Structure 1
Amino acid sequence: MPLMEKPDNREMDLLTDGLPPIPILLTKIPKISGTESLLEDLYAIILAKLPLTSIITFKRVCKQWKSLVESPFCRDLYLSMHQNSYYSSWSFMCRGCETETMAHYGSDNWCLTRSLGSYISSFLAEKFENREGRVVAYTDVGLILIYVVTNQSFYVANPVSRQCVEILPHNHAMERFWILGIVTRTEDEVVLGYKEFNNPISLNGKLHWLAHNPEYKDFLVSFDFYPSGDKGSDRCRVTPFPDLDKTTKFKRACTTCQGFLMYINIVSVAEVDKLCVWRLKSEGWQLVSEISTDIVTAGFDYIPLGMNPFDDKLVYFWRGNMEGQDLLSINLHIGEFMVHEELERSSDGRVLSSVGGPREIEYIKETFYSSFVLPRWLHPFPN
């Protein structure tokens, strides 16, 4: 069985950094009559036991390995063997830049040893060098939208797998810099396509914009770019926010959780401050949580980052100044809160880290946040 040399590729070194040696020879899959299918099944079973960062290494060996890794059998086998791996690595990113305010990674399908923000920064430095590549949008399917300043071009990329493709330029006047967004179309968690637009939140093939009417009341504009069946007439929706007649603490912004768009604010109800969470449904906003705790009512000076993308009971908040910073989580089910360390590790090996250093504090206070989430499987990259 002829051995294949490991490709001389800096991308592979970045992917395998910190991983244990893989006890499998990187070989071409032999074509022997009657045994090829059996061997591919055996190789798929072996691959399914590895973290996704290691599977990426096999995918780069040759076309046969690439075909095996991208096969539905290998994908379904991997997902069935890791069906209890509910979480995937994710981060809260400042929208329109590469500033990472919070990261969650470690014990998941990817087995990352560092945060998604560090993968993004190293990918930009290697791929674009001095061409000033900037991340202008994030998704919950592992893709980012990159704008290259020097030649005004756009790229869609997965910063962990290093997959990257250039797309047609966005036509707009370049006198000012627009914060852009990307919408993806998925089927069984497989990304089938994407489009890019100005400053929205992307979720399930839809884009959502925060807008204002002439009376300066906030509402949400939602547009479905991939409608199915007879839903063409419902592609665009306008939904007023549910607390327009109440006093709120934060500027209105949305986050995502478990496939839904969520809205969080502290609302004054009967002269009592309550932390309220709404979920956007087809019929409008649905109130899913309303709690009043001592920390919310006693001069709450945190700003909301968003909800845990996989856990609808956890909301994260942040505060900071030149003297220090705090990351706070509130459990909506029991009303308890926890102040986190700058870097902490859970019993299952999962790492939680918050932004370190005061240089970005003023920007963080004024910006909006996007959750950037890796998928549970390395799907073929759409062209």
Structure 2
Amino acid sequence: MERGSRRRRSFPESIVVEIIARLPLRSIARIKSVCKQWRSLVESSYFRSLFVSLHRSSSSSWSLMFPIKYQSPITEAIGFYGCERWDLPKSPASHIIPCQSFPNHDYYYYVASSNGLVWNEQIYGVEEARRIKPTSFVGNPVTQECVVIPPPPDPLNNPSTMVTRIVDGVVSSFKVISTAYQGFDRHHVRNMYVYSSETGRWSFKQLRTPIPLQRHGFSSPLNLDGMIYEWDKRLDDPTGPGVLVSYDFYAQKDDNQCRIIPLPGPHNKYVRRCLTTSCGDVIYVEILYQRLKVWKLKCNNSSDGEWWQLTREEINMASVGFDVDCFPLGMNPFDTDLIYLWSRQHRCVVSGNLRTQEFTLHKESETWSDGEGSWRINTSYSKMFMEETYEHDTDSVVTLSQYVLPLWMDPVPRPPN
């Protein structure tokens, strides 16, 4: 063949798209920044649908976080990473702080997350406040996109949680909620400030409960599909099991009434409980006298009074070799068979498979791989949080924050200019 007659072969664009869509999101993010043509391709609805369909069976990276705001900016108990979808080389929580836009992470701590977005808040004292402009931000720590959130009108408030709206599988907007300190003598009312990415402004909101409750805000809530859930105690029944308080921040109608959901089963002062989510459901776990039970919330508008459904028969922890002092931490966000506990006897995290009833001790902070990804267990944080929790309030319901990376690189919703 003569020189010059050779022609460089090129693959059809459809084949190239199929190849790229099989790569992990971390690699696709780099391809996206090569040129405008690649960016347009990756951000197209067709490419997103193709990627999601090809990775439908693969889990995403996630972390289980403790709400210890001022002791450490990152308080991860369990982290899963290195899986096929994202292929991160380190735990998701390690991406939260620092963020490139705000490298001085000494002043920031993790507040909450929802559908891959994270809310970080600034810490500052009186002297620092004179030098540093108060700032918090919501963003995707992995892609390093973020939006600055202005401070609420009332500085005397407690950053609480955030919720997101999903439209056609994409995060379209977010709201962050701060509990206001005013009106603490009113047990039927919860005052808060809500910032919306749709308006770019804070608004004052007053929620009401049909029964008087002990708390006045959402101090350690769970969020799912635009709703928040928090355990609280009735003022007229302080020794009872308590209730779940839920509210939909994206409700179509302007209803400020919270919903009260009773907890399942009779109450006992020796019960150990947690509230978590898994596979898109609210999950309630309890351990009482070495009996482990897992419930799923059936719906948010039960007409027959049956709010909860047992996911399987109870498990006798003694039969699998664990003591009565096992406290539930949470569930795997993508697998309702996998549960995580804290054993006071062994002072370590326990991972368990409810289907096979196999439980494993993790005595030290460690990292290991299981074929699908890598795991990181932080024993020291778990010990500190669980022992402090049950030393001061043995009747509480533990609610840890799940930082779950999204199934796609959703852009951070931008407020109007």
- Interval of TM-score (by shorter of Structure 1 and Structure 2): 0.7 to 0.9
Contact 2:116–2:403, Cα closer than 8 Å, also in 1: yes
Q: Measure, in 1, the Cα distance between the counterparts of 2:123 and 2:254.
A: 36
Change (3 A) 1:64 1:325: farther
Identify the residue that residue 89 of structure 2 maps to in structure 1. 113
Other structure's SS at 2:99 match:
helix
Matches within 5 A, 1:63-82: 63-82=36-55
Change (3 A) 1:172 1:300: farther
Q: Measure, in 2, the Cα distance between the counterparts of 1:248 and 1:232.
A: 40
Residue 146 (str. 1) matches residue 120 (str. 2): yes
Q: Measure, in 2, the Cα distance between the counterparts of 1:370 and 1:210.
A: 14
Other structure's SS at 1:253 match:
strand
Identify the residue that residue 167 of structure 2 maps to in structure 1. 187
Change (3 A) 1:96 1:182: farther
Residue 59 (str. 1) matches residue 12 (str. 2): no
Supply the AA of the counterpart residue of 2:225. Answer: N
Residue 287 (str. 1) matches residue 287 (str. 2): no
Q: Measure, in 1, the Cα distance between the counterparts of 2:321 and 2:154.
A: 45
Contact 1:89–1:373, Cα closer than 8 Å, also in 2: yes
Supply the AA of the counterpart residue of 2:117. Answer: L
Contact 2:323–2:343, Cα closer than 8 Å, also in 1: no
How far 1:113 sits from its partner (Å)? 1.0
Identify the residue that residue 169 of structure 1 maps to in structure 2. 151
Identify the residue that residue 206 of structure 2 maps to in structure 1. none
Identify the residue that residue 275 of structure 2 maps to in structure 1. 254
Other structure's SS at 1:104 match:
strand
How far 1:206 sits from its partner (Å)? 0.7
Change (3 A) 1:366 1:104: same
Identify the residue that residue 22 of structure 2 maps to in structure 1. 49
Change (3 A) 1:147 1:298: closer
Q: How many residues are treated as equivalent by the alignment? A: 331
Identify the residue that residue 329 of structure 2 maps to in structure 1. 305
How far 1:202 sits from its partner (Å)? 0.9
Other structure's SS at 1:121 match:
coil
TM-score by length of 1: 0.77
Matches within 5 A, 1:5-24: none
Q: Measure, in 2, the Cα distance between the counterparts of 1:266 and 1:131.
A: 38
Supply the AA of the counterpart residue of 1:143. Answer: L
Q: Measure, in 2, the Cα distance between the counterparts of 1:68 and 1:299.
A: 55
Other structure's SS at 2:96 match:
helix
Contact 1:212–1:219, Cα closer than 8 Å, also in 2: yes
- The match for 1:95 among 47, 62, 67 is 67
Deviates further, 180-189 or 330-339: 330-339
Change (3 A) 1:248 1:153: same
Contact 2:325–2:344, Cα closer than 8 Å, also in 1: no
Contact 1:201–1:208, Cα closer than 8 Å, also in 2: yes
Q: Measure, in 1, the Cα distance between the counterparts of 2:85 and 2:172.
A: 21
- The match for 2:376 among 353, 357, 361 is 353
Contact 1:343–1:351, Cα closer than 8 Å, also in 2: no
Q: Percent identity?
A: 35
How far 1:376 sits from its partner (Å)? 1.5
Identify the residue that residue 135 of structure 1 maps to in structure 2. 110
Residues 198-256 of structure 1 deviation map (CA, whole Å, 9 limit, x = unaligned): 4321101111122211122311111112235xx77697311121134345422x43111
Identify the residue that residue 385 of structure 2 maps to in structure 1. 363
TM-score by length of 2: 0.71
Gaps of 5+ in 1: 1-37
Supply the AA of the counterpart residue of 1:333. Answer: R
- The match for 1:197 among 163, 166, 177 is 177
Gaps of 5+ in 2: 1-11, 125-132, 179-218, 390-398
Supply the AA of the counterpart residue of 1:162. Answer: Q
- The match for 1:275 among 282, 292, 317 is 292
Contact 1:279–1:288, Cα closer than 8 Å, also in 2: yes
Identify the residue that residue 27 of structure 1 maps to in structure 2. none
Supply the AA of the counterpart residue of 1:267. Answer: L
Supply the AA of the counterpart residue of 2:52. Answer: L
Change (3 A) 1:49 1:336: closer
How far 1:50 sits from its partner (Å)? 1.6
Contact 2:320–2:357, Cα closer than 8 Å, also in 1: no
Identify the residue that residue 372 of structure 1 maps to in structure 2. 403
Q: Over aligned residue pairs, what C-alpha RMSD do you find?
A: 2.9
Residues 246-287 of structure 1 deviation map (CA, whole Å, 9 limit, x = unaligned): 45422x43111000111111135xxxx411111112221222
Contact 2:65–2:401, Cα closer than 8 Å, also in 1: yes
Contact 2:349–2:382, Cα closer than 8 Å, also in 1: no
How far 1:103 sits from its partner (Å)? 0.9
